[in-house]
Structure 1
Amino acid sequence: MPTPPPTGPLVTQDTLTAELRALGVEPGEILLVHSSLSSLGWVCGGAVAVVRALLDTVGPDGTLVVPTQSGDLSDPAQWSNPPVPEQWWERIRASMPAYDPLVTPSLGVGVIPETVRTWPGALRSGHPQTSFAALGARAAEVVEGHSPDCRLGERSPLARLEKLGARVLLLGAGYDTCTSFHLAEYRIPAPVVTVGRPGADGGWEVVTEVSIDSDRFDELGHDFERDRAVVRGKAGAADVRLFPVADAVAYAQRWLPLHRSREDEF
């Protein structure tokens, strides 16, 4: 059977730029983007056109930030999607390449962040599993100093984005992707976990980290949107949300202790 034609809408760099500006994205601002390319419709130029539109919208004085996580640099004993045979674990730990911000690809965050990561001039933070990439005027200020034992806490780009007055743009992505909520987890009583990964100087290392969990972030986002000023609209076919990082963190810091049971946390 012939392949059916695309249903659209047709999205171009110019139409996306105009829609983002109409939603209130401002030149010169710092924008943390969580995205889904497929949600937009038929995009002429794909992820490259989307990144160009985002850069056009924030302008030369603005900064574009995306998550470039690499959760595959982790202990194979904890893999479940898919798991690997237990007899492979030690060989995987011994041979897994260490994190290299210039080389290690992002995983599970979509094609738009990976396009930003490989864009000329992009900078990337130093955490081997939860890095961020940034383009623009304040990119270095955002990504520098990401501590290897602080995934998404006070010594991560999230805290820097909060301090700098950045906003979150959910571009066809849900609140389950909103990393800003994780910063709140570092500010409330929370369990810790041991995390295994390849060491920067070779070998295998184990670090202790705050346990993070996004399972109820959709519910958290629903309440946040109900109670706080969140810009809502469309870009192409995608639902869009725009709000300050600081507002999301502050709301989550109050919401999580009330809605997560002790069993959920510990």
Structure 2
Amino acid sequence: MDQPVPHTVQSLRSDLRALGVRSGDVVLFHSSTRSLGFVVGGTQAMVQALLDVIGPEGTVVVPTHTPDNSDPAGWRNPPVPEEWWPAIREQTPGFDPSRTPSRWMGVMAETVRTWPGALRSDHPRLSFAALGAHAADITGTHQLDDALGERSPLGAVYRLDGKVLLLGCGHDSNTSLHLAEWRQKSPPRGVTGASIRQPDGTSRWTTWTDVMEKEDDFEQLGAAFEAAVGPSIGQVGGATTRLMSQRALVDFATAWMAVHRPVV
């Protein structure tokens, strides 16, 4: 039996172009590295291929969230004893865009975050990193109490008419759907908190009120979007990959949520 040919920067570039990624694109990138198969050069090669295709006028954006920097009272997977909560709030090192690694976002997001020239927004729980021509515009203003709304990197990608690239992952990882949540007439809000690094190097626990994220219907929403609009679907390396207009996605999701999510 013939052995499969390994994927390379050159073959990944061809796959991305065939899918519809173009020079100058702003691409919000979500990925499952394992789905790619064997890539010569690993995640570095995948990021390089994407940067080559979008070129110097393009921008790649990734979520670099830190969900562990949050109020332990809300932790469920797993929960921690209530008597630990004060120590966690008081002793968690404050978020610093240049120091704090992302958590559970995958090695591809970390590769972009640490790539030379990458910029990162300063939200202590829901930051994004960007690399390319529009990186400063996307990451420069990230409102603490508008984490995934208009004044977030998601809102900036929408204004730039960016694209969403889901490489080997589904709509449950499609962060842009949260922008539709923030656009609902009366989305549920709650108090949240995180530790933030201060200019003098100390850490301070900070609380604020924002929209509460909800993701349990994202796969259903994504299936409805695909049936109605139809993203570009193809193979990038070994991964089934979806490419779609973020504006089309968010506009569809905003209307869908208004119908399918009851107002509380």
Normalised by the length of structure 2, the TM-score is 0.94
The one-letter amino acid of 1:41's match is G
Verify: 1:68 aligned to 2:64, yes or no. Answer: yes
| Structure 2 letter corresponding to 1:258 | V
Aligned to 1:230: 231
Unaligned 5+ runs, structure 2: none
Do the aligned partners of 1:8 and 1:42 also contact (CA within 8 Å) in 2?
Answer: no
Residue from 23, 26, 31 that aligns with 1:30:
26
Q: Deviations over 1:48-83 (max 9, x none)?
A: 111111111111111111111111110112222222
* Partner in structure 1 of residue 220 of structure 2: 219
How many Å apart are 1:205 and its aligned residue?
1.7
For 1:82 and 1:47, the matched residues in 2 are separated by: 29
Aligned pair 1:142/2:138, yes or no?
yes
Structure 1 stretches of 4+ moved >6 Å: none
Q: Deviations over 1:159-189 (max 9, x none)?
A: 1110111010111111011111111111112
Q: Which residue of 2 aligns with 1:196?
A: 193
Q: Describe the SS at the equivalent of 1:66.
A: strand
Please state how far the C-alpha of 1:110 moved relative to its aligned partner.
0.7
* Percent of matched pairs sharing the same residue: 49
1:78 aligns to 2:74 (yes or no): yes
Corresponding pairs, count: 257
1:57-206 equivalent positions in 2, closer than 5 A: 57-188=53-184, 189-201=186-198, 202-206=203-207
For the residues of structure 2 that align with 1:229 and 1:219, how far apart are their CA atoms?
Answer: 14
- Cα RMSD of the aligned pairs, angstroms, is 1.4
Q: Partners of 1:92 and 1:141 in 2: how far apart?
A: 33
Residue aligning to 2:8: 12
Decide whether the 8 Å contact of 1:9 with 1:236 is kept in 2.
Answer: no
Show structure 1 runs of 5+ residues with no match: 1-6
Deviation at 1:218, TM superposition (A): 0.5
- Aligned equivalents of 2:241 and 2:220: distance in 1? 17
CA distance in 2, matches of 1:256, 1:225: 15
Which amino acid letter does the alignment assign opposite residue 8 of structure 2? T
Aligned partner letter, 1:32? L
What is the DSSP-based 3-state SS (H/G/I as helix, E as strand, rest coil) of the residue aligned with 1:203?
Answer: strand
Query: Is the Cα contact below 8 Å between 2:33 and 2:43 reproduced in 1?
Result: yes
Given that residues 96 and 196 in structure 2 are in contact (C-alpha distance below 8 angstroms), is that contact kept between their aligned partners in structure 1? no
